[in-house]
Amino acid sequence: MAGRSKKKSETVFLVCEETGDYNYSVRRKSGGEKLKLKKFSPRLRKHTIHNEKKK
């Protein structure tokens, strides 16, 4: 078991395209494509596109 490397997960934030608010944080594996999800924006009270951003 010693010497086995674990895949690190990283915390990324989902930022609303329209308001620029950091509404969600997500843990995911490093690498791969950036997330682009449709999530609820509390300020606008509607679903908007949220992009991944590291802090």
Q: Give pLDDT tens digits for 19-31.
A: 999 999 999 988 8
CA of 20: how far to CAs of 7, 33, 42, 44, 54, in Å? 30, 20, 12, 11, 14
Is pLDDT of 2 > 80?
no
Cα(5)–Cα(13) distance, rounded to whole angstroms? 25
Q: pTM, whole model, 2 decimals?
A: 0.79
Which two structure tokens, joined as six digits, stand for 48? 């908007």
Higher per-residue confidence, 50 vs 31: 50
Task: Please give the domain boundaries of the chain with CATH numbers for all domains.
Answer: 9-53 (2.20.28.120)
Q: Note whether 52 and 34 are within 8 A (CB).
A: yes
* Mean pLDDT score, 3-18: 84
Which two structure tokens, joined as six digits, stand for 2? 């010693």
For the chain, percent of residues with pLDDT exceeding 70: 89
* Beta partners for residue 52, in sequence order: 14
